[in-house]
Structure 1
Amino acid sequence: MNTATKGTTSRASSAFTSLFRRVGGWGSQHKYSPLDHDGEASEGGGTSESQTQALLPNGESTDDDNLDEESQLQPQKQRSLLYRLVWGDPNKIFVKLVMLLLMVPLFSYLAAASIRVLSPNPVPCDTPELGYQCDRKTTHTWGQYSPFFSVPSEISPSVPDGCRLTFAQVLSRHGARFPTPGKAAAISAVLTKIKTSATWYARDSKFIKNYNYVLGVDHLTAFGEQEMVNSGIKLYQRYSSLIRDYTDPGSLPFVRASGQERVIASAENFTTGLYSALLADKQPPSSALPLPQQEMLIISEAPTANNTMHHGLCRAFEDSITGDEAQAKFIAANFPPITARLNTQFRGVTLSDTDVVSLMDLCPFDTVAYPPPSLTTASSLSEGPNKRISPFCTLFNPQDFTIYDYLQSLGKYYGYGPGNSLASTQGVGYVNELLARLTRSPVVDNTTTNSTLTGNEETFPLNRTVYADFSHDNDMMGILTALRLFEGVSPMSNETIPEKYGKTGDDGLTEKDLFKVGWQVPFAGRVYFEKMVCDSDADGDGKIDENEEKEEMVRILVNDRVVRLNGCGADEEGRCRLGKFVESMEFARKGGDWGRCFG
């Protein structure tokens, strides 16, 4: 037992089973049914043969011989008028062009209206497959406050041909939440400042006059709950081959959650989604069966507790303010123009740069406070539970949100990521647990692991094929840094934004091009660790020899994006051999810079 566990692990050793929470059945109301986005055009509406004849061009006559006298009177006038409007006089080409141009918006409106009316399955903003896809230019630029979205990958995330998965582990952030107490206080203060002092509001900001701030604090939102249900569904869809028998607890994922309530609730909603998908996948469908019962290990976040998914033991790291300093300098250099423009929205009140940041924070928090709506059924700026994005978002333009996104990334880079020299050390305990699971060998670590838990097969089994861990964004940043995923990334400037930062993953940018926290740890962000066995061609003859040893490969995906591994000779698929990957984790295996924590 390491020295950092004194005073905590003795209690854990005598009653660690009390850390388990039984999971299952709490969310049976969540029913998994694959979304059907296909629609068929309505039948009918075709042109009859007589109508076709009536519209012949170039002066060709229609066959009227079989028409009675009544049908040749008024209908003939209508046909003649229509003929002139459509085919017209060659000398009136300009008039025809104008009419056609006027008809285009009408047809577009009717087409859109018909889609809204006829589509039985409006496209949701948030899906298990792609995450949140509404208003992407805004919602994907909220840094760590962005809802999860699938990040495009330059390497296919599919399992390569000739390989089969043998192991999967997910490390997930909790779902969307309400603001923390400190941020909630800052938001409330700036709203009070405006509403008590403003004597005039511009049109774009007038909604603030009647806006009541009623958001909760810290806890998971309904939006976040659904994110985690979707995450569980997606994990099952991807790794169903590894989850064999829902009646056998040993074949189900082993679940751990860091001890804050929103993290625990996220794990519960995740397992609800996963098991609902599992039951729906049975033949015949077993949706009527109760969800499987499973135990979840909850690890305390007390200040003295050893917890690889929650930092707090390294004093030098906890006292660091490098992230705050970098953000303060960036705000001073980049926010004054935004603040000046926003101050024109009011009279009688002058907002500061930090006030503006708080108003920008309210954009994502006021959006994710409600369940995710459907793309075709919700107005972009409507009030109430069906709104897509908060009206506070309309106070800012896309460039403002690029600056805001960079600000959030800057704080994570220097506070909890590669810009902080002790950040990777905070993640080495978790990395050593990962190595133990990958190799099915005991944990070797003297940093943040709890040896009472990792030394017991009930609280740290090594024989599972699927594991699920739930944590926070700051802790995940330390783990990703310890995994060497950010090696080669250019240091972030705390004054200016590189031009390419306004780009997205759709532009083919990679983690080596820039550091964007929304790509790594958005709400419900997740990291997949995969181990696979692939056919071997040891003699290089291009043929698979069944007698040749199959080699195990390791791969990491961050929010669906395959991240090429560093220091282990990654192949074109971004993977490394298991042995080489373990060797590349030398920094973690040696305990990082743990000694600096208490110097």
Structure 2
Amino acid sequence: MPASSAIKVAAMALVGSLSAAQMLAPTNDINLPASETASEPLKWLGANSPWFAGPNVYNISSEIPENCYVDQAAYVSRHGSRFPDTGAYAGWVDMQERFSSGNYTATGSLSFMKDWRTVLTNVGLQIAMESPTGAKEAHDLGYTLRTRYPQLYNEGDDFYVWSNNYTRVLQTAQMFAQSYLGFTSSTYGKVISVTSKGYTGAIGNSLGPSDQCPNFNDNSGGDYATEWANVYIPPIKERLQSLIEGNFTFEDNDISQIPYLCGFESQITGRLSPWCGVFTDYELQQYEYSNDIRYYYGLGPGTDLEQTMMLPYLNALIGLLEQGPGTNGTAQDGGSFALPNLLATFINDGQLVELITASGVFDDEPALSGTEMNPDRLFIASHFTTMRGTIAFERLNCIVDGSTGNGTSGTGPTWNSSTTLTTATATGTGSIPRQTALASANATYVRIRLNDAVYTLPSCNDGPGQSCLLSDYVQYLSDKAAAAGDWVSNCNITVAGAPTTVQGASFYTDLTSPWLQELNPGNVVLSNS
């Protein structure tokens, strides 16, 4: 069916979710085995965890709500699992040299330590690149989204994917497109690389806006991070030191690097690293909390300027959902192209945290303490900033009581989950049914998912499946941007030719900008040059 026809059907459809679909895509991309000391070591590593489906913290089904279907969606993901950067790898080499020398014997869970060697086999080729697990995460996401929303793509249509211009991010985007499109990816797939530096037009209009914000300062958690490190590291250090017989003394950095090595070595080799069998469950949770503090006070709700970096982008993105499916843009050659009804975008961890914070899901989250963990906290980096961590915005087209509105104004319609359909066929996946009789109006809502789990907005959750009326969410973001103040002034941007008002994300609908480059998914980027 042509896209225009599908959109027309969607506008008329009333959906009944008659049964939950039995999807073939696995819940998680990889196994998450226990070690000898911890039950789920790979789930407590914050940004260093491989991707896994987030826990259902609100006890809300991720199935499409009854009488709704998804007619548009936006997925914004971090790059997949990767090899270490140059600096991190240098730290590994230093640890290897210190651990392999000296007159000592490591016992118990550290008995492997003296013989441990780093797992990279071709440093020049591997450093900072996507790992095999990262490739699988990207491919699995492509398959999952293609089968989760079959109605959002018509075979043979051009399909655009957007990516921050970092090699591993581009690699993730390209491998996602390969899987999403399959054998046609080189023909119909296009990855748009968005450069965030060096162009005044890209100021506040890229996938890495902080790169051109002089006042931006990621302090990695600042004093709170130091305070927490002083709480959790010494007892672990003392315990591990007791497993050493002879002349070797752990450094504080060694302790914080052990979980890091657990995550990285496991996803690089595809086998659970021996470092995953050193910390206990509770010690890993303490390490996880150090990641929470790092992001909360470095880029997230505990910051002032930093948490607003992706707000212009989010306003622009949700504006596209407000326009609805079938939007056209300007291609590189000046012609027209159809914006995909599934918008897939790939960024880095910092931008992801900024974006999730801007979304509003943590608006009511109490501030994190630097001295003790709150077991009931919602802000847990392992649940959304993992490798290939994801925030998704689903546009839900739902049946409502037609007498109270059409969902396009702030007054809002009445959601009626008991409304029955005259004739409808539904799969439970959000696919568009056939419909022969209409009894009510339709309204559009937005639902947010972090690593697939549904999250609610504290101030707007009275829609189906605790979603938010889309027009209300648009207003919420507009008010939030107004309260944040002028982005250019806040950043203290003084460069000649800088925009007075930032556009946020013009690159979705205008591919002619000089900081954009179109790449073929089949020609995967192989270096950082």
Q: TM-score range by the shorter chain?
A: 0.7 to 0.9
Counterpart amino acid of 2:266? T
2:83 corresponds to which of 178, 187, 193: 178
Deviation at 1:315, TM superposition (A): 2.1
In the alignment of these two chains, the number of paired residues is 420
- Aligned 1:250-265 pairs, distance under 5 A: 252=159, 254-265=160-171
2:47 aligned partner:
144
Deviation at 1:264, TM superposition (A): 0.5
Deviation at 1:581, TM superposition (A): 1.1
Deviation at 1:548, TM superposition (A): 4.0
Q: Deviations over 1:169-190 (max 9, x none)?
A: 1101110011222222223222
Q: Deviations over 1:287-318 (max 9, x none)?
A: xx776432211011436654532132222223
1:434 aligned partner:
317
Counterpart amino acid of 1:583? Q
TM-score (norm 2): 0.73
What is the CA RMSD across the aligned residues, in angstroms?
Answer: 2.8
1:160 aligned partner:
65
1:275–1:292 contact (8 Å) kept in structure 2 = no
1:248 aligned partner:
157
Q: For residues 217 and 294 of structure 1, what CA distance do their matches in structure 2 show?
A: 27
1:332 aligned partner:
230
Distance 1:416 1:159, change over 3 A: same
Deviation at 1:200, TM superposition (A): 2.1
1:219 aligned partner:
129
Deviation at 1:401, TM superposition (A): 0.4
1:523 aligned partner:
387
- Aligned 1:425-464 pairs, distance under 5 A: 425-440=308-323, 457-458=330-331, 463-464=339-340
Q: For residues 150 and 328 of structure 2, what CA distance do their matches in structure 1 show?
A: 29
**Does structure 1 residue 535 correspond to structure 2 residue 377?**
no
Q: Deviations over 1:563-583 (max 9, x none)?
A: 112433533512111211100
Q: For residues 471 and 368 of structure 2, what CA distance do their matches in structure 1 show?
A: 33
2:194 corresponds to which of 299, 318, 321: 299
Counterpart amino acid of 1:578? L
Structure 2 residue runs without a partner (length 5+): 1-21, 34-38, 121-125, 404-413, 421-436, 494-529
2:350 aligned partner:
474
Deviation at 1:480, TM superposition (A): 1.0
- Aligned 1:1-150 pairs, distance under 5 A: 128-135=26-33, 137-150=40-53
Deviation at 1:147, TM superposition (A): 1.1
1:174–1:263 contact (8 Å) kept in structure 2 = yes
Q: Hey, which of these two has a bigger chunk of helix by percent?
A: 1
Q: For residues 340 and 547 of structure 1, what CA distance do their matches in structure 2 show?
A: 69
Q: For residues 358 and 338 of structure 2, what CA distance do their matches in structure 1 show?
A: 22
1:309–1:476 contact (8 Å) kept in structure 2 = no
Deviation at 1:194, TM superposition (A): 2.1
1:581 corresponds to which of 465, 473, 482: 473
Counterpart amino acid of 1:359? I
2:407 aligned partner:
none
2:510 aligned partner:
none
1:356 corresponds to which of 237, 255, 263: 255
User: Secondary structure at the residue paired with 1:369?
Assistant: helix
Q: For residues 418 and 290 of structure 1, what CA distance do their matches in structure 2 show?
A: 39
1:528–1:557 contact (8 Å) kept in structure 2 = yes
Q: Deviations over 1:535-571 (max 9, x none)?
A: 1213379757936431111111111111112433533
Q: For residues 316 and 23 of structure 2, what CA distance do their matches in structure 1 show?
A: 37
Distance 1:518 1:198, change over 3 A: farther
Q: For residues 322 and 267 of structure 1, what CA distance do their matches in structure 2 show?
A: 27
Q: For residues 576 and 35 of structure 1, what CA distance do their matches in structure 2 show?
A: 26
**Does structure 1 residue 556 correspond to structure 2 residue 439?**
no
Q: For residues 321 and 580 of structure 1, what CA distance do their matches in structure 2 show?
A: 34
1:529–1:557 contact (8 Å) kept in structure 2 = yes
1:423–1:481 contact (8 Å) kept in structure 2 = no
2:149 corresponds to which of 219, 234, 239: 239
Q: Deviations over 1:491-518 (max 9, x none)?
A: 11111123x26xxxxxxxxxxx431001
Identity of paired residues, percent? 24
Distance 1:531 1:299, change over 3 A: same
Pick which of 211-220 and 303-312 moved more. Answer: 303-312
2:406 aligned partner:
none
Q: For residues 35 and 239 of structure 1, what CA distance do their matches in structure 2 show?
A: 11
Counterpart amino acid of 1:295? K
Q: For residues 370 and 328 of structure 2, what CA distance do their matches in structure 1 show?
A: 44
1:409 aligned partner:
292
2:360 aligned partner:
484
1:312 aligned partner:
211
Deviation at 1:402, TM superposition (A): 0.7
Deviation at 1:370, TM superposition (A): 2.1
2:10 aligned partner:
none
Counterpart amino acid of 1:438? L
Distance 1:468 1:365, change over 3 A: same
Counterpart amino acid of 2:148? R
TM-score (norm 1): 0.65
2:55–2:383 contact (8 Å) kept in structure 1 = no
1:437–1:462 contact (8 Å) kept in structure 2 = no
Q: Which has the larger radius of gyration?
A: 1
User: Secondary structure at the residue paired with 2:161?
Assistant: strand
2:175 aligned partner:
269
Counterpart amino acid of 1:575? S
1:569–1:580 contact (8 Å) kept in structure 2 = no
Query: Which structure has more RCO (C-alpha within 8 Å, separation ≥ 6)?
Result: 2
1:201 aligned partner:
106
User: Secondary structure at the residue paired with 2:330?
Assistant: coil
Counterpart amino acid of 2:156? T
User: Secondary structure at the residue paired with 1:551?
Assistant: strand
Counterpart amino acid of 2:227? K
Deviation at 1:354, TM superposition (A): 1.8
Counterpart amino acid of 1:247? G
User: Secondary structure at the residue paired with 1:399?
Assistant: helix
Counterpart amino acid of 1:350? T
Deviation at 1:591, TM superposition (A): 8.2
Q: For residues 136 and 419 of structure 2, what CA distance do their matches in structure 1 show?
A: 47
Q: For residues 574 and 424 of structure 1, what CA distance do their matches in structure 2 show?
A: 25
Q: For residues 23 and 312 of structure 2, what CA distance do their matches in structure 1 show?
A: 39
1:163–1:532 contact (8 Å) kept in structure 2 = yes
Distance 1:301 1:214, change over 3 A: farther
Pick which of 232-241 and 583-592 moved more. Answer: 583-592
Deviation at 1:530, TM superposition (A): 0.9
Q: For residues 463 and 228 of structure 1, what CA distance do their matches in structure 2 show?
A: 21
